A = this chain, B = another copy of it.
């Protein structure tokens, strides 16, 4: 096992022999993808072929631990995901619930900043307050104005809405330059250190240039959507020459967690995989907003983001999605201080008083 990594699957099966047969089928599917009797002896059979390490009943289903060779993926992140769940994602009755990187941990060091790094950068004493710049269709001037109000109010991070990319109504370069300048102005005026994270999105072939431009413009971190661009984008951003913090957004990832019959556990998708890719903050929809995650699922995500034994540094869970200012105390009770609270549409209702609203919120959360 020392040169292998291991994946835990929750298998829906009637009996233990059925679950074991299913596990053996997964071990084939995720590696050689040929019938067992056609597997060539030697390296392919002894090393490449997935190995069922353990099958045990749990909560009306079965849990199987299957190990794979480092040779199957090398240091490639997309190929690691391919081995974990590529073809098996198309079979029902199967969910990925845990990943033990083993010696592969060297290739996937995780977040550059994480929970502690972001607290150092922002100086936050309580949870991080993260207003979202929106809506799509606003002019760069308008978005910069919102950013400035939020920074003056003492927001820890202003992040862009995931719907702002490089489209005609929000050209990346003009927008990012104006917002970065506005946040810098506010920071200078207040002696603050609000960070600004633009959304790195557009034509995939342009993303590297967009990130370069943003860095030159003075941004403090990046937002990325692994569901639309692959987890490789998160890794690329985390591995830049001078890394900045990376926040991930759940857009297009819903189907991986919404079915009990396929996909990943909530903790695995919005905790483990984000840490694996190098995210510092993982955004997910909080319980009670417009999305249907339960309190238990959200707690599992927060735990997976912050567990010391997870991949690399502990990272910040970023609950959002329909949050309002008056839910802040409730959220703090649920998540504690090591979290980033996203504030979206409800903040816009405050209009020119957005900054005051954030200042009040911050005062309350720093108590």
Contacts and interface: CB of A to CB of B under 8 A. Distances in A.
A255 B262 contact: yes
In the assembly, how many copies of this chain are there? 2
A345 B36 CA distance: 9
A234 to B, nearest CB: 10
Interface stretch (A5-13, A175-183, A202-210): A202-210
Interface in A291-346: 291-292, 321, 344-346
A137 B292 CA distance: 42
A31 B164 CA distance: 10
A32 B348 CA distance: 12
A34 B208 CA distance: 30
A290 interface: yes
Contact of A38 (B85, B165, B255, B348): B348
A82 B236 contact: no
A227 B89 contact: yes
The 8 closest A-B pairs by CB, nearest first: A34-B345, A48-B137, A204-B232, A89-B254, A90-B254, A32-B135, A86-B251, A74-B167
Contacts of A44: 135-138
A136 B204 contact: no
Contacts of A361: none
Interface of A, secondary structure class, is loop
A64 to B, nearest CB: 17
A92 B254 CA distance: 9
Interface of A: 25, 29, 31-35, 37-40, 43-44, 47-49, 71-79, 81-83, 85-92, 134-138, 161-163, 165-169, 201-205, 208, 225, 227-230, 232-233, 235-236, 250-256, 258-259, 261-263, 285, 290-292, 321, 344-346, 348-349
Contacts of A227: 86, 89
A89 to B, nearest CB: 3
B74 A258 contact: no
A25 B345 CA distance: 13
A161 B33 contact: yes
Nearest to A232: B204
Contact of A167 (B49, B73, B229): B73
Contacts of A263: 255
A38 to B, nearest CB: 5
Contacts of A73: 165, 167
